[in-house]
Structure 1
Amino acid sequence: MIVIKYLWYYTMWTLVRIGLHLYFSKIKVTGRHNIPKNTPIIFGSNHENAFIDALLITTSNTRFDHYLVRAGVFGNPIAKALLNSLNLMPVYRAQDGVNPLEANKQIFRACFEALAKKYSVMLFPEGEHNMRRHRRVLKKGITRIALGAVNFEGGTKEVSVVPVGVNYSDHTGFRSTVHIVFGEPIVVKEQEENAKNYNKLTSEITEGLSLVHVSLDRNAYLGLDAIFFHDLDSHQLIEPEKINHKSAALENRLDEVNEVYDEKKELEEAGLSFPFRSISNGGKLKMLLLVPLALIGLLINLPVLLPVHWFVKTKIKEVEFVASLKFGFALLGFCVWWWLLASWIWDYSSRWELVIIGTLLPFISLVSLNGFLRKWKRFQTTRMLSNENLQPKYDAFVERVNLIRNSISF
């Protein structure tokens, strides 16, 4: 039975990994050497982008991961069976209508048993998902599992907590970039489960997590975000070490930081959308050259694009779920649609070279469509700056940001 479970898990792992490398233009992974071998691990990550966070982390390492996710996604019996088959376990909160301490006892025991077998457990200790790149207060769940595991009868006597940072250049954009950072492991050995040890371990995990993802000061977040990311290129990787260091240099300049946000807010109220980078003449030429392939990409992929667009626009209430659902629909929808296209080409031509072209063209044209839409958005926003009132305000905003950046050698 365990062999079948392994085969099922790693088959899905492989399919998702391939899909993620098609969905993102680049997935950079740093710190794989920090993942201990042949020892139980708890992966604790920041949580900015719903399910896709877990998919990126688990396909960036080869451990047999178990995951804690909120209980609400287990409501459907079919979904529950599928999630359980992939090692997902529900974690209960007060809003789930139960006593979370009692309801989670069985789940924590399952975590202890998985760790005793030298498997890994993944969870998001912030207890919420939010696209804002700032530090959050951690919940106690990760420390309860870590200390509970080393004190569990018949369990492991040592567990490593590995902080993981998932850093997106664009949380919702297709063909954006992501940087996954595995931090130095925090070794937890058998010790008494008391408030002092809980607080000490929580502090250590908080510190470790703050080093692996972009964790701006929460109170000054909007201004810092404007300074560092207002002109973010969709293919620029987020480098937590660099950004966090520069952010710390502005801790005593909060008035300046807040003034930057006020200027950005004024520009947004005037109609400018961020992040924004003006398009060059070369960019305009590339946009025009992409038109034919973009049109093909739209037409040939419309049976999948249309329902996905409709669902995201009308049914998704939390923006944090957009990328996860776009990826999930795309993985299933495009695989089926492109397989049907390839089958039809084979039935009518019986030529492998045409089948290969018919399989590659939909993806290449889809990427071209995405590139065109990104450049078109930049083109439209750049045109707005021709407004005689808006351009001077934008120039003053950029000048202020550049002065601050230069002062911290950004």
Structure 2
Amino acid sequence: MIVIKYLWYYTFWTIVRFGLRIYFSKVKVTGLEKIPRNTPVIFGSNHENAFIDALLITTSNTLFDHYLVRAGVFKNAFAKAFLNSLNLMPVYRPEDGVNPLEANKQIFRACFETLAKKYSVMLFPEGEHNIRRHRRVLKKGISRIALGAVNFEGGTKELSIVPVGVNYADHTGFRSAVHIVFGEPIVVKQQEESAANVNKLTLEITEALSKVHVSLDRNEFEGLDAVLFHDQNPYQIIEPVRVNQTAKKLGQRIDEVRQIGLEKKELEQAGVIFPYRESTGWDQCKMWLLAPLGLFGLLAHVPVLLPVNWFVSNKVKDIEFVASLKFGFSLFGIAIWWWFLANRILTQTEQWPIVLLSLLVLVLGLIGMNSFVRKWRNFRMTRFLRANPILGTKYQAFVADVDKLRASLD
């Protein structure tokens, strides 16, 4: 039975990993060598992007991961069976209509038994998901599980908590960049499960986690976000050490940061959509060169893209679920669609090289469509600002203030 479970888990793991490498233009992973191999591991991660956070973490390491997720997704019987088969376990909250302390006792015990077998457990100690890149107060569940596991009869006497940071360039966009950072492990040995030890361990995890993901000051988030990310440079956003160091320096210039935040808010109220970078002549040239490929990518995938976009636009209320649903529906929808097209092409041509070439063109069409859409949005915003000279002047003043502040930090 365990062999079948392993085969199913790692088959799904392989499919999802392949899909994520298409969905994201860049998946950077650092710190894999820090994951202990001789003790059970608890992965504790920031949580900005719903299910896709867990998918990125688990497909970035080869351990037999088990996950704690909110109980609400287990309500459907089919979903429950599917999620259980992939090592997902429900964690209960007061809004789930049960006593969370009692309901979670069984789940905690399952975690203890999982760690005793030297498998890994993944959870999100922030207790919420939110795309805003700031530090959050952690829940104490991760510490209680760790201390409970090392005191569990017949369980492990030592484990490691590995902080994981998932850093997105763009939380909802196709072909964006992401950086998964595995931090220094926190070794937990057998000790009393006292409130003092729980609080001490939670603080230690909080500090470790804040080093591996972009964790801006919550109270000054609007201004810091305006200074650091208004132009959405993906190679800057996904480097947490560099961004957090810059944010710390900006904390000494807080009045200027707040003023820039107010300027950005005023521009947004006037119709400017951030993140935005001015579209140059070369950008526009590349956009029109991409147009034929983008149009082909759109037309070739209408049967999949149309229902997915309709569902996301009309049924998804929380932006944190957008990427997860886009990826999930597209992964299986596009796979089925490509399988159908491949069979039709093979029937017509009886030539496998033509089938493979056609699939490559379909992939390039999707990428070209996405690149065209991104450049088209910047192009439209550039035209909007140029058609409004007063607003354009305010935007240029905003950029000048940001550049001046950034330059003063170097």
TM-score bracket, shorter-length normalisation: over 0.9
Q: Which runs of 5+ in 1 are unaligned?
A: none
Aligned amino acid, residue 62 of structure 1: T
- Residues 274-316 of structure 1 show CA distances to partners (whole Å, capped at 9, x for unaligned) of 0110111111111111111111111110000000000000000
Q: Distance in 2 between matches of 1:353 and 1:58?
A: 34
Matched, 1:198 2:202: no
- Report if the CA contact (8 A) 2:162-2:186 is conserved: yes
Task: Normalising by structure 1, report the TM-score.
Answer: 0.99
| Structure 2 counterpart of 1:230 | 230
Deviating 4+ runs (over 2 angstroms): 233-237
Aligned amino acid, residue 366 of structure 1: L
**Local SS of the residue matching 2:139:** coil
| Structure 1 counterpart of 2:115 | 115
- Report if the CA contact (8 A) 1:47-1:130 is conserved: yes
Deviates more, 1:88-97 or 1:271-280: 271-280
| Structure 2 counterpart of 1:354 | 354
Aligned amino acid, residue 281 of structure 1: G
Q: Distance in 2 between matches of 1:12 and 1:91?
A: 23
- Report if the CA contact (8 A) 1:177-1:237 is conserved: no
Aligned amino acid, residue 215 of structure 2: S
| Structure 1 counterpart of 2:252 | 252
Deviation at 1:359, TM superposition (A): 1.3
| Structure 2 counterpart of 1:71 | 71
Aligned amino acid, residue 396 of structure 1: A
- Residues 183-215 of structure 1 show CA distances to partners (whole Å, capped at 9, x for unaligned) of 000000000010110111001000000000000
| Structure 2 counterpart of 1:286 | 286
- Report if the CA contact (8 A) 2:35-2:185 is conserved: yes
Deviation at 1:364, TM superposition (A): 0.7
| Structure 1 counterpart of 2:344 | 344
Q: Distance in 2 between matches of 1:30 and 1:200?
A: 27
- Report if the CA contact (8 A) 2:167-2:179 is conserved: yes
Q: Distance in 1 between matches of 2:138 and 2:253?
A: 27
Aligned amino acid, residue 155 of structure 1: G
| Structure 2 counterpart of 1:406 | 407
Deviates more, 1:383-392 or 1:139-148: 383-392
- Report if the CA contact (8 A) 2:236-2:243 is conserved: no
Task: Normalising by structure 2, report the TM-score.
Answer: 0.99
Q: Distance in 1 between matches of 2:408 and 2:206?
A: 29
- Residues 26-78 of structure 1 show CA distances to partners (whole Å, capped at 9, x for unaligned) of 10001111100131000000000000000000000000000000000000000
Q: Distance in 2 between matches of 1:282 and 1:234?
A: 20
Deviation at 1:236, TM superposition (A): 5.3
- Report if the CA contact (8 A) 2:229-2:237 is conserved: no
| Structure 2 counterpart of 1:136 | 136
Aligned amino acid, residue 363 of structure 2: F
- Report if the CA contact (8 A) 1:233-1:277 is conserved: no
- Report if the CA contact (8 A) 2:25-2:175 is conserved: yes
CA RMSD of aligned residues (A): 0.9
- Report if the CA contact (8 A) 1:48-1:320 is conserved: yes
| Structure 2 counterpart of 1:325 | 325
How many residues end up aligned between the 2 structures?
A: 409
What is the correspondence of 1:81-92 to structure 2 with a 5 Å cutoff?
81-92=81-92
Q: Distance in 2 between matches of 1:236 and 1:20?
A: 21
Deviation at 1:237, TM superposition (A): 5.0
Q: Distance in 2 between matches of 1:218 and 1:72?
A: 28
Q: Distance in 2 between matches of 1:290 and 1:408?
A: 38
Q: Distance in 2 between matches of 1:235 and 1:220?
A: 23
| Structure 2 counterpart of 1:383 | 383
Q: Distance in 1 between matches of 2:250 and 2:408?
A: 10
Report the CA distance shift for 1:235/1:405 in structure 2 as closer, same or farther (over 3 A).
Answer: closer
Q: Which runs of 5+ in 2 are unaligned?
A: none
